[in-house]
A and B are shown apart, each in its own frame.
Chain A
Amino acid sequence: MASETDFLLAVEGLTVSFDGFKAVNDLSFYVDQNEIHVIIGPNGAGKTTVLDLICGRTKATGGSIRFRNQELTAMKEHQIVKAGVGRKFQTPSIYDDLTVFENLEISYPRGRTVFGALAFKRDAAVRDRVEEIAETIFLSDHLEQRAEYLSHGQKQWLEIGMLLIQDPELLMLDEPVAGMSVNERKKTAELLNKIIRNRSVLVIEHDMKFVEDIAHRVTVLHQGKILSEGSMERVKADPKVVEVYLGH
């Protein structure tokens, strides 16, 4: 096993293959405490697969993923969540048939076992926390509304809110501003800047303007491998990156 690290997340030699096709190939990268780390790359580079691997949705063929020096590859999805990793999906993944309040409440980190959920009481602590989060994600006025009727942007925020209420140490976002209007995009950047305090964020994003606004460090993926890594300026100046990705 690899040695202890100070990084919050250490991905080393990560490989996954689907019937011989290596979607992610011997990938290594690190995420620091309180860092906003953005992964960019052309379609099919393996970005979403990397998030799937970290959160346990896909099992790795080889390599290691350590979160606070805890090996994640052997853990189940809900254990990884409990360890402090939260993940937002590319398309808004919320519960259409429940209200905004209930959506947030389900993510509240208490009563996660069967009998815990049966005994769960909606007490003041839960209500206050839900209302606090709803305020952060601009949905205070929609708590009783069924989530189905929210706009696309509001759904994205709701899912971010569902993650916030879990209070994860590592937040993983898959294209959080895709399909948003300019105004919503601005609000989302504002939201992200507000919530990154005391946590690390791993983001996949295509919107370069948005990436420049938020990224501390950028990793460029291409065909399952790292093409370039570093600050946005460095990456932008890298001729390899320009050729495969930024050039067009």
Chain B
Amino acid sequence: MKISVRNSAPRRATGELMGVALLALLILIVLPLGLDGFRLNMVGKYLTYAFVALGLVLCWGSAGILSLGQGIFFGLGGYCMAMFLKLEASSPEATKIQSTPGIPDFMDWNQLTELPWFWEPFHSLPFTLLAVVAVPSLLAFIVGLAMFKRRVGGVYFAIITQAFAAILTILIVGQQGYTGGINGITDLRTLNGWDIRTDGAKQVLYFVNAALLIGAVLLCLFVRHSKLGRILVALRDKEDRVRFSGYDVANFKIFVFCFAAALSAVGGAMFTLQVGFMSPSFVGIVPSIEMVIYCAVGGRLSLLGAVYGTLLVNWAKTLLSESFPELWLFAMGALFIGVVMVFPNGLAGLYQQYVAPRLARLFPRAVPRVGEVIPPPTAAE
């Protein structure tokens, strides 16, 4: 028995690393070889949502904190990136027909005559890259600090994060002159002079994005296998017990919430780069809760499952809304209900239950595992 203590963890880790390798093989080699530029760009877009889903696996799956406001962080990351790109696209020469040249076009349309102060620092790329992660993390930190220190959790946290998503959307839409309003920030062209609209650039960005995602998966695996990861699971089960084992529980929740926010923000920034615009329609209540379903379909406890779930749901969404748009909401609704009532562990759970045992019989030595599946708590409170 004592021997197994020393050995089981490494074996599990090897299995998971093989799973990551398979994912890398798929998104770095198989898909780029098999898909045309247009479809590949689309997959790249889907993969940016996978960052959000990864964050949710840790935040919701492990720690039991359901945030319905991940779109906020995805959006903020995306907006930070978009602000930089927009400023670069709004050089005085490019905008000389405006009444105030040198500011973004939508500001000119809204009778602004000077760049707002908070846009100024986004002339700098290093600042922008920092802001992509720092701004959303800071917001998550403030929200987390206020809520978790006061022990607000469960459904209250979910509702309040949802309210934040609503507030931010209304704010962005209402403050057209500063944010581009409902249309968002569009017509983005170059990144430090490099045209991001060409097919070649899109391909490069796809690979950057895919590599970042693999990095994010590995980082999440590290967090989950650290003691911190086990503490998150522990506090989902018995928060008081963790507290009375000498931990300041709120700090752990704040950390995982900020971590999820930062991941989402990276996804958002990559979205802006690959798709070429950012708008409030990725921030609000509806996109935020849709991001939860990506994670749930993959299996809320499985990091790799979250990536596959995101790909699958978005692929289905594109397919259905191309041919049967009216069916999409039915399918989406059914997914929400099904994932809760029929297969709470999502794809990863199905894999564990049906595929893994067969694979294990075929290849008794090494079977990649799609994450570690722990049944969800019966009471999420």
Contacts and interface: CB of A to CB of B under 8 A. Distances in A.
B301 to A, nearest CB: 10
B4 interface: yes
Contact of B245 (A101, A113, A162): A162
B241 A78 contact: no
A114 B237 contact: no
B230 interface: yes
A120 B226 contact: yes
A82 interface: yes
A82 B1 contact: no
Contacts, number: 100
Interface of A: 55, 57, 76-78, 81-82, 86-87, 89, 93-98, 101-103, 105-107, 109, 111-114, 117-120, 122, 127, 131, 140-141, 143-144, 159, 162, 166
B359 interface: no
Interface residues on B, range: 20 to 34
B244 A94 contact: no
Given A97-B237, A111-B227, A131-B2, A117 B244 contact: no
B243 A78 contact: yes
Contacts of A105: 227, 230
* 7 tightest A-B CB contacts, nearest first: A81-B246, A120-B227, A117-B228, A95-B234, A93-B241, A117-B227, A107-B245
Interface of B: 1-2, 4-6, 8-9, 223, 226-228, 230-231, 233-234, 236-238, 240-249, 251-252, 255, 374-375, 377
A87 B238 CA distance: 14
Given A106-B234, A112-B246, 7 more contacts: A77-B243, A81-B243, A81-B245, A81-B246, A105-B227, A118-B223, A122-B9
Chain B facing A: main interface SS: helix
Contact of A82 (B236, B238, B242, B246): B246
Given A78-B243, A94-B238, A144-B4, A113 B251 contact: yes
11 contacts: A78-B243, A82-B246, A96-B237, A97-B237, A97-B374, A103-B234, A112-B246, A112-B248, A143-B2, A143-B5, A144-B8
Nearest to B374: A97
Contacts of A111: 227
A127 B6 contact: yes
Given A105-B227, A114-B228, A117-B227, A98 B234 contact: yes
Contacts of B251: 113-114
A143 B1 contact: yes
A87 B234 CA distance: 17
